[in-house]
Every structure is written in structure tokens, then in C-alpha cells.
Structure 1
Amino acid sequence: MKPILTQQDYKEAARLLGCEVAAITAVAEVESAGAGFLANDTPKILFERHKFHQLTAGKYDTAYPDISNSIPGGHGKISDQHRRLQRAAAQDRQAALMAVSWGKFQVLGLNFKLAGFATLPLFINAMYTGEPAHLMAFCNFVKNTGLLAALQRRDWPAFAYIYNGPAYKKNRYDSRMAAAYKIFIKSSFYFYYL
């Protein structure tokens, strides 16, 4: 079983980001239902067909519309995501790995540098090691993208806009994060910061 996040991990991340633990856990809850790995010990992923489409200039849209499509969505079951990734990687491995949202915080592979990794392979390998690497990638991404102030203020619409893209309202990312935060903040542990 891969390492999962401890209370100390969350506290250190909250201290680093200057926010409440509840704000960090709210993001994880909405992005991955709070779990970074599947039962088979592979990272929880979401293959983003519209990102694969963008990264390959739509080259595979006609032959493989379920893995390359200009229209977001069509994700299917979580249990099918690694198979979808494998199918896309058979066409263009680099683009496929960048078109995946990875782990507990669903950081997009395309953002590996913003997540603090020099190369895409280093990022991918880290995503397989455990949830502490997922948290590190999240913290780096938040600090490097202008998300920090929104997370600290718990400005969920601003946070979701940058984190999930302009269509965030369609999936209610902002309201779901706000609701998760309200649940977590009731625990004294999740209130902890600085």
C-alpha cells in the first residue's frame, strides 16, 4: 500500500501555504474523493480527452474520439482511466501523460514544471510513490500559479477558475469545495494553520 497523508503532512502544507488544513482537504475531497490511489495501488487519474486533443492538434479525433476530442468530458468510470491512458499513449506517449490529472489533487501532467518537477517523467514517477508526493505537487502548483491568495481567502470561485478552468461552474467545483470546507472546518484539526 502506498503512503497516505498524515495529519503532520497536512499541517506542514497548511503552514507552507498559510492556509487552513480544511482548505487543503476540501480541494482533495472534491478532486479525488479524498483518495490518491485506487485499490490496485495505482494513482487515481482522470484522462482529459480535450487536453489530448489540444496537445496533438486533433490528429487522433477521427480514429479515437473517446480519447481525443475537442469537447471536454466523456471521462467514463474511474476504473477505466488507466486503460484510456494506455490507448492514448500508444498514439503519443508524451501528450497522453500530459493530458492526465494525477493523484489526490488531480494535478494535470501538462503542469509538471509548475508542480515543481524538472521533467515529465520525474513528475509521473513521483505520482506513483504516494500521497505525500501528490501534496508536494499541489503545494508547488498553488504557489506557482497565483492560486495561493484565493486558497488563503477561501475564494472558491477564483480558485476553481484557475485550478479547473473556465467551465468550473458546470461541474460546481466552487460550491462543492465550499461545502467540503464547511464540513472539515468543524473539526479542530482541520482548522489548524500557521
Structure 2
Amino acid sequence: MSFQGQGRPLSGAGIEQVCSTLGVAQPQVWAVLSVETRGFGFLKDRRPQILFERHIFHNQTGGRFDSSAPDVSNSKAGGYIGGEVEYDRLNAAIGLDQAAALKSASWGIGQVMGFNFADAGFANVADMVAAFVEDENAQLLAMANFIKANGLAGAMQKGKWDAFARGYNGPSFEKNQYDTRLTAAHARYQVMLPDLSLRTAQAALLYLGFDPGTIDGVTGKRTRSAIIAFQEKAGLSETGELDTDTESTLLGEAFKSD
């Protein structure tokens, strides 16, 4: 399984649909996204961000692979590598039991666990993963469906981040200070929201091998440097600004088959 598609970033329509579904404003949504995945659902090779949970695979398979594959099947959580290498762990588990492996990873921009496919709005985990491969809109809506199915929309609406974190991350949420981080992120996004056009451009730069830094919809030094590098390669004026010609050329190059 390649898990590789277009890697389309969030659209305005996508995030507004989620806000309507949950009865919240954008700052609440962005707060959750930034804390869960640093705000972007794809890796630079366009595969969804994942984290493989070996203890979940252990539970899903009754521990029958614990002796032969302790790195991916273990009663204790751990073994995390992070980034693209998490797919090595996932693929090793797929070789043992595909459905259980897909259920044992958290996926995409909201890091929804595969075993929660039904709450996320899918008939099976394979359908969920296939949707997540295509674009962030699908990832975000699945996250919203999960939040709503688990009665957490009210906590988001009221800004009760301790209650939200307990329901979304589990009873040990305080260990990673999820509630504190969510509170801080919410306050930050109430002041300024990400620029979705710039965020899409940052994703395109990332996919094309230019490092824009964090995919956050905010122009910083690394984003400007990445734009200049792209402009130089494309034969455009090296302004560091996302002007019309630069944006059109960049998106056309990054999303050729759309």
C-alpha cells in the first residue's frame, strides 16, 4: 500500500463545513489541529501523518505476534520513531494483519485512530484510510465526526479544554499538557487565523522539495526563502512574495494531475 495521493490541503469550504458541523468557530478547530499534528495532515511525500501504536496492534490481534514481532506488537506502548519512518512500523504490521494494522495507527490532521473508523463516519478502516490519503478536508471532517460522536463538541464550544482533552486524548492527557496547550493555541488563533492560500502554497513548496518550515499559513523567513528558491528555479522574479504568477506556477507544478 503506497498511502500516497495528491495530498490536497484544507480548503475554506472544508473548514467551514466542520465549523458548522461542530457549532464552533475556526479558532477552536485550529487549536485542536495545531496541538494534534502541528497543523498539517501530510508528510513531505504526501502520505498522511501517522503514529503507529504497537499496544493497540497487540490488542487488535490478541497478542499473537508479540513474540515474533515485538517492535510492532507489544502490550506496552512505545517504540515510536516519528515522521516517515512510522510507515516502516505500519508496513511491518500490515504484513502480519492488514486490517488490524490500519486500526492501530492514528491518522491525518486530527490523528484519528483507525479503530475509530465508525465514529469518523466510515464503513471500515480501509475506506477511512483511502479518504485520508486524498485530502485534508476528508481528514478534518472525520475528526469532526469523531468529536461529535463522542460528545466533545460542547466542550469545544465552551472552551473547556480539560474536558475536551480528557475525551480526545484519554485520562492521561495531563501528562502531555494537552489542555494547557489547547488553551494557549485557542488564544493565539483568536488573534490571527492561518491564511489558507499561503498554507496551500507552503504545502506545495514542501512537496516540491523546498522547505517552507511549519505549514501554518503564516509568512516567516523560511517560507520567504522557499518562495525565492522556487521563483529562481521557475524563472520568476525573486521577490519572496506569493504573487499571482508565483502562486499559479507553484500550484500548477505541485498538483499537476488535478
Do both proteins adopt the same fold according to a TM-score greater than 0.5, normalized to the shorter chain?
yes
- In the TM superposition, what whole-angstrom CA distance separates every residue of 1:38-94 from its partner, at most 9, and x where no partner exists? 111111111111111111122222222221122223311222111110001111111
1-side partners of 2:94 and 2:84: how far apart?
17
Corresponding residue number in structure 2 for 1:80: 85
Residues 135/152 of structure 1: CA separation in 2 closer, same or farther (3 Å cut):
same
Contiguous gaps of at least 5 residues in structure 2:
1-5, 196-258
- 1:126 is aligned to 2:94: no
Specify the alignment match of 2:30 in structure 1: 25
Q: Would you say how many aligned residue pairs link Structure 1 and Structure 2?
A: 190
Q: What is the Cα deviation at residue 182 of structure 1?
A: 1.4
The answer for unaligned runs of 5 or more in structure 1 is none
TM-score by length of 1: 0.91
TM-score, structure 2 normalization? 0.70
Check if 1:108 corresponds to 2:113.
yes
Contact 2:71 2:79 (C-alpha < 8 Å) held by counterparts: yes
**Is residue 80 of structure 2 the alignment partner of residue 55 of structure 1?**
no
What is the root-mean-square deviation of aligned Cα atoms in Å? 1.7
Shift of 1:189: 7.6
In 2, the alpha carbon distance for the partners of 1:9 and 1:125 equals 17
Percent identity between matched residues is 40
Q: Distance in 2 between matches of 1:145 and 1:117?
A: 15
CA contact (8 A) 1:53 1:69 kept: yes
> Relative contact order (alpha carbons < 8 A, sep ≥ 6): 1 or 2 greater?
1
Look up the match of 1:138: 143
CA distance in 2, matches of 1:70, 1:179: 34
Q: Distance in 1 between matches of 2:123 and 2:171?
A: 27
Moved more, 154-163 or 26-35: 154-163
Q: Which stretches of structure 1, 4 residues or more, deviate above 3 A after TM superposition?
A: none
